[in-house]
Amino acid sequence: MIGRALVVLAALVGLAGLVLPLGAYRSADGKVATRASALRIISQQPADPTPLAQQAHELGLSRDDAVQLAQAVDNGTRAYRGLLIAVFVPAALILLLALVVLARRQMGRTAGALAIVLGLASLAGFVVLLFLIGDLDIQQRAITLKLQATSGAGVYCLLAAGLFAAVGGVAAVRHVEF
């Protein structure tokens, strides 16, 4: 029972991670210049960077810096789209596993082992996203534009989903009941 509940919780948290911001660029005074969720990045068609440049200019960046920021964000978004899809596949599979477990009203050892594997894969995705946000190229652009790149709640949802799924899988494999 506890294993099933944890896997369902992992699925919900993983789903939240898909729609919550992955990271943000903040100006020196703490205002958010730009942020985006994984869902927005994955589903977004190449967009005109002009609105972002205007918003960054309104936050206090010079016109040239604002255009540079908008172009850097657009280029980064395109480059990392495939990686984001790969990182969120384990969370999607945890959601599918949770639906199957709920439909069957039980979680056996096989489902528990699968939850452990998917949980560990989600944890690996968390590490990849941390390295991605800490990428020197991204940090250098942010410093050049007098901004700070920070990770958002979506990244930490992958961590939580991985932990919940792995612990839920261990509970199912060991038949822990409360």
Counted domains in the chain: 1
| Structural domain boundaries enclosing 43 | 2-173
User: For 11-61, what is each residue's pLDDT tens digit?
Assistant: 999 989 888 887 766 666 666 666 677 777 777 765 566 666 777 777 777
Q: Percent of the chain, pLDDT > 70?
A: 75
94 assigned to some structural domain:
yes
The tokens 């920021």 sit on which residue? 69
Residue 45 lies in a domain: yes
178 found inside a domain: no
Specify the 3-state DSSP secondary structure of 21. Answer: strand
Distance from C-alpha of 99 to C-alpha of 104, rounded to nearest angstrom: 9
The predicted structure's pLDDT at residue 2: 85
Residue 116 lies in a domain: yes
Cα separation, 77 vs 59, whole angstroms: 21
Is 69 a domain residue?
Answer: yes
Please report the pLDDT score of residue 17 as a whole number.
87
Question: Residues 124-140: pLDDT tens digits?
Answer: 988 888 777 665 455 55
Beta-bridged to residue 77, according to DSSP, are none
Which pLDDT band, with edges at 50, 70 and 90, does 151 fall under?
Answer: confident
Note whether residue 25 is domain-resident: yes
177: number of Cβ within 10 Å: 9
Residue-wise pLDDT for 62-113, tens only, equals 778 777 777 777 776 677 778 888 888 999 999 999 999 999 888 888 999 9
Element (H, E) at 29: none
pLDDT higher than threshold 90 for residue 115: yes
β-pair partners for 26 = 32, 148
Confidence grade of residue 161 (pLDDT, cut at 50, 70, 90): very high
- Residue 104 falls inside a structural domain: yes
